[in-house]
Amino acid sequence: MAKSEKIKLLALDVDGVLTDGGLFIGAEGESAKKFHAQDGMGITCALRNGLLIALITGRQSKIVASRAAELNVTEVYQGVKNKAQLLTTLAEKHGLTLEEVAYMGDDLNDLPALVLAGLSCAPQNAVKEVKERVHYIAAASGGNGAVREIIEVILRARGLWKQIVADYIKEGQGDSQ
């Protein structure tokens, strides 16, 4: 995919993209989210190879901050009401055009950011209105490898994936994510 070659920043929604969208809420109001290790490994590969990662979510969650810290993602934005405006701000902050920015989202509140991004992506479980408007629909669902899939697409388009795999084999970089 030609659009993938230009991407220097991948912005991700959280609920429904990095997670399956399920929200576990306990009797005391505590919450839990499930993340997929392959998405984590994809994010690690992206960061090690110069692809910037940003997490953008409309919700507030200590769990998201914790997962981001674990993966060394420093661009974490929670409680965001206008994702499109933030996407533009992120591009400017990093000296990028919107053509160099990818966004993956799954629901209606992601549409404004998706239509701005140079590469718009959705997990398989995204709502119909999102899937109708994106450049790429992952075979995997949110929270089940969709993020890893788009990262591989971008890194392959940039000619980096084979070397990443070779480096893991050679160096035994078996850290789990």
Q: Is 106 annotated as a binding residue?
A: yes
Which of 108, 110, 104, 109 has its CA nearest to residue 123? 104
Rounded to two decimals, the pTM is 0.93
Domains of the chain as residue ranges with CATH: 3-22+30-171 (3.40.50.1000)
* Predicted pLDDT at 23: 83
Instruction: Give me the sheet containing 119-122, strands edge to edge.
Output: 75-77, 52-56, 9-12, 101-104, 119-122, 136-137
* Predicted pLDDT at 32: 87
H or E element, residue 114? helix 111-116
Within 10 A of 172 (CB to CB), how many other CB atoms are there?
8
Which pLDDT tens digit goes with each residue over 108-154?
A: 999 999 999 999 999 999 999 999 999 999 999 999 999 999 999 99
Angle between helices 37-48 and 146-157 (to 10 degrees): 30
Q: What is the DSSP letter of 100?
A: G
